[in-house]
Amino acid sequence: MSKNNIYISEFDLKRLKELIKVVEEFGDKRVIQYIEELDDELNRAESMTPQEIPDNVITMNSTFRVRNLDTNEVAVYTLVFPAEADSAKGKISILAPIGTAVLGYKIGDTIEWEVPAGRKRLKVEEIVYQPEAAGDYHR
């Protein structure tokens, strides 16, 4: 499967690279696989200033709606840093498999990733809130 181009703000890229360093040094060994996947995604992402980020892209702290292409279920999530994660409120950590998978994708993209139960497929339907589009460049 070919991967879509993904976009990330310079600010998010810097914060996420710092997070990777901290987790690699002090973190739980169970998340190392996810850290490696996140690092791979960041290495292939196109970095730009927050003002240049298209408003249809999932960035850190974005709230977005996705459709599960296998079950047709719709969900709304907010992509957050690990300390802010709260699954009951739909706040998913960037270190969760789905969090790493959605970063940098845009409306209309289909995201595929492996989970223990098999392959998941989600389609990004809407960006409900994106900090960069709202002028929140340092959120």
| Residue 113 β-bridge partners | 120
pLDDT digits (tens, 9 = 90+) for 46-104: 899 999 999 999 999 999 999 999 999 999 999 999 899 999 999 999 988 888 889 98
| 115-132 per-position pLDDT tens digit | 777 888 999 999 999 999
Residue 139 burial by CB count (10 A; 0-12/13-18/19+): exposed, middle or buried? middle
Tokens of 77: 């999530």
pLDDT digits (tens, 9 = 90+) for 7-40: 889 989 999 999 888 887 776 666 677 788 888 8
As given in the structure block, the two tokens for residue 86 are 């709260």
- By DSSP bridging, strand 118-129 and strand 91-93 are unpaired
The confidence band for 45, taking pLDDT boundaries of 50, 70 and 90, is confident
Domains observed in the chain = 7-129 (3.10.50.30)
Q: What is the pTM of this model?
A: 0.85
Question: How many Å apart are CA 71 and CA 49, to the nearest integer?
Answer: 36
